[in-house]
Amino acid sequence: MHPNLDDLRDALESGPAVLLLRHAPRGEISDPRTGNDVPLTPEGRTLATQTGVRIAELLRDDDSVVVGHSPVVRCEQTAIAIYEGLTTAARPAKVIGKRNHLGGPYLVDPKPALDEAARLGHRFVREWFDGALPASLVQPRREAARDQVVHALQALDRPERPRLAVLVSHDWNLMLVREHVFGIRHEDAGWIDYLDGVAIGRSADGACLWYRRAHVGCSLA
């Protein structure tokens, strides 16, 4: 339940980077319509702090880090714990707070979309990614994945000019980017794990992404 920091190391060798990752372990959610207030478990808090310490080991002493998160409480808790791990390791870091794009901006009409997710269970993600759900309910996969990458990279443009932006999000967000960019289906690779993440950097024609030692360039046009 830790991100593959080899990917982040590779990304940082190319320049400033973003680590977009899922929150740490949480309590059980039985219905997606009522899950926003489910917090981290004690194990989740510990693992998130350890992740911050491990990230710090990849940074130079003067590298600055910003940490953002989804509006959902477990993402905020994860971000704060990662920040605490970074500062324990004496790395300059700042929590930049809630970022709506790390939540569910792809839910065009959230209430009926979550009703459909409750009805379909995990099949909701497959129907969404395969284009079987109407665009009035959710953004198409390509558009939604592009928006996730574009907004993630904007964290590097902050006044702090961070060397690294750590952005804490959700399973759907990560699987969206993972499948669209890397072609990795959750039916084949499994549901994305807690604290699993994708590293993102800029390239001349768009973005570069790293996941499980795979490296892919993509246009943001």
CA dihedral sign, ordered 11, 15, 21, 23:
positive
pLDDT of residue 98: 97
In a domain, 127, yes or no: no
In a domain, 98, yes or no: yes
State which residues form the domain around 169.
Answer: 5-105+140-219
Residue linked to tokens 């190391």: 9
Antiparallel, parallel or unpaired: β 197-203 and 17-22 = antiparallel
In a domain, 72, yes or no: yes
pLDDT of residue 14: 93
In a domain, 121, yes or no: no
pLDDT of residue 1: 62
Q: How many domains would you assign to the chain?
A: 1
pLDDT of residue 4: 75
CA 161 – CA 164 distance, rounded (Å) = 9
In a domain, 76, yes or no: yes
Under a CB-based contact definition with an 8 Å cutoff, are residues 198 and 177 in contact?
Answer: yes
Q: Which two tokens stand for residue 15?
A: 């320049």
In a domain, 112, yes or no: no
Residue 152 burial (CB < 10 Å; 0-12/13-18/19+)? buried
Under a CB-based contact definition with an 8 Å cutoff, are residues 94 and 164 in contact?
Answer: no
Share of residues in the chain with pLDDT > 90 (%): 86
pLDDT tens digits for 25-45? Answer: 998 877 777 777 888 999 999
pLDDT tens digits for 105-144? Answer: 999 999 999 999 999 998 999 999 999 999 999 999 999 9
pLDDT of residue 89: 86
- Report residues of the chain scoring pLDDT below 50: none
Q: What is the CATH number of the domain that holds 54?
A: 3.40.50.1240
In a domain, 125, yes or no: no
pLDDT of residue 220: 85
In a domain, 73, yes or no: yes
* Three-state helix/strand/coil letters over 67-136: EEECCCHHHHHHHHHHHHHHHHCCCCEEEEEECHHHCCCCECCHHHHHHHHHHHCCHHHHHHHCCCCCCC
> What's the Cα-to-Cα distance from 42 to each of 29, 56, 74, 96, 170, rounded to whole Å?
16, 22, 11, 23, 19
